[in-house]
A and B are shown apart, each in its own frame.
Chain A
Amino acid sequence: MIVIIDYGMGNLGSILNMLKKVGVRDAKISSHPKDIEQADKLILPGVGAFDTGMHHLRETGLIPLLNEKVLKAKTPTLGVCLGMQLMAKVSEEGELPGLGWFDAETIRFRFDFKHTGLKIPHMGWNTVNIKQAGTLFKDMYPQARFYFVHSFHLVAHEATNVLTTTEYGYEFASAMQREHIMAAQFHPEKSHKFGMKLYKNFVEYA
């Protein structure tokens, strides 16, 4: 069973729709400890601010269980958008510590509109430079593009964790993987066949 963790942040329906599309029959949106204990795979989604996200996640009381599942039981886990950012150790956006599953920090885009003409948030379809395919980009279509909406991004302290980078003002890490822990800054559930392929790769990962 794949569990999409519901901690009150963002759009879970679209991930469930995408999982159904790639043939998953036993996916579930849940914040129930029992479901999370039984999950074979976890998805940590999220839209919104870092502190609000960490605060909500703490309120569910799930953090110790998630640490157990992800770090000890090595359950394959995918973070999406804010879910990826929460996997860092710290964020410029907030005071609360992150989950720390990646040796990374979350920072705001460092450029100003006057010099670059680039607006924040980074919103729309952008391409990725695949540094290593890892699990998520195995047999990915050429010229893959994904839908992004974010003002913050991860800075990896461990370069080997970076799967893809994307150019917006400068190159930033748009997808990462450390063993069974994976993350995407974009929304693969809203990225046509490219996102379908990515979810399929995650679903088939064993």
Chain B
Amino acid sequence: MLMPRVMPCLLLKNGALVKTVKFKDPAYIGDPINAIRIYNEKEVDELIFLDITATLEKREPPYKILSEIASECFMPVTYGGGVRDVETIRKILSLGIEKVAINSYAVENPEFIRAAADKFGSSTIVVSIDVRKKMFGRYEVFIHDGRKSTGLDPLEFASTMETMGAGEILLTAIDRDGTQEGYDLDLIKKVAGAVGVPVVACGGAGKVDDFRMAVKEAGASACAAGSMVVYFGRNRAVLITFPEREKLEEILK
């Protein structure tokens, strides 16, 4: 039986793992390789790494760290951050990373997604969409680490990206990031209902039941979690962790 995937979404800044709240105040978590060893032991379904400053600093992806990550990871890995040409994608894949996420550049040049999907196959290309809730409950796509508004509606944008060949949508609710208050189910429901490709819910996971709601009630194909898998307890003490597989199976099957 195919189980909905649950995956840590880990943020990189200057080569270290950090965790943000609503895309702000990156707090130091630790060394990515140490974290991977623990997630390997826990046999997590998949991992996402996002370099949150690559685009802002007009920088290439951190190839050296990605190479170390790939040689330690025996599960699928998605990398995002600073990807704006096919040569960069080729380089990332050659290290042993399976999927590449594109965020800002998908808005700036949507045709790039078509070119990338044609060249590397749809299942390799993830479009990452960061969304803020505006006045009157209207949703809007933001780029450049949530700093730049685009005027785009996430439903329409996700559909366009599917047409261009995106194989998966990583959908992040900026206002929920780091809050552990639960996913934005309304947003997930809208986007998952509008596209045929898998939607990965991100932003707000705080407990195992949040995964169930995202999948069963809102139609997400997979769930990403940040704070929940790097912090423990109310004081947010750093602890790399992951829910027990049996518990996830019980709640998601």
Contacts and interface: CB of A to CB of B under 8 A. Distances in A.
Q: Is B a genuine binding partner of A?
A: yes
Most A C-beta atoms less than 10 A away, residue of B95, B123, B167, B222: B123
B123 A190 contact: no
Interface in A163-206: 167-168, 187, 189-193, 195-196
A9 B197 CA distance: 22
Interface in B141-164: none
B23 interface: no
A48 B46 CA distance: 20
Interface residues on A, range: 35 or more
Interface string B80-99: 00000000000001111110
Interface string A9-20: 011111011101
A94 B191 CA distance: 32
A123 B21 CA distance: 30
B120 A147 contact: no
B96 A17 contact: yes
A167 B2 CA distance: 8
A47 B97 CA distance: 13
A30 to B, nearest CB: 14
A129 B249 CA distance: 18
B4 A190 contact: no
Interface string B122-151: 111000000000000000000000000000
B73 to A, nearest CB: 8
16 contacts: A11-B96, A17-B70, A21-B74, A48-B121, A119-B196, A121-B123, A121-B167, A123-B221, A124-B2, A124-B5, A124-B222, A147-B46, A168-B2, A190-B75, A192-B74, A195-B74
A124 B45 contact: yes
A62 interface: no
A192 B75 contact: yes
B74 A190 contact: yes
B71 to A, nearest CB: 5
A12 B122 CA distance: 17
Minimum-distance CB pairs A-B, first 5: A13-B96, A14-B96, A48-B121, A149-B123, A126-B2
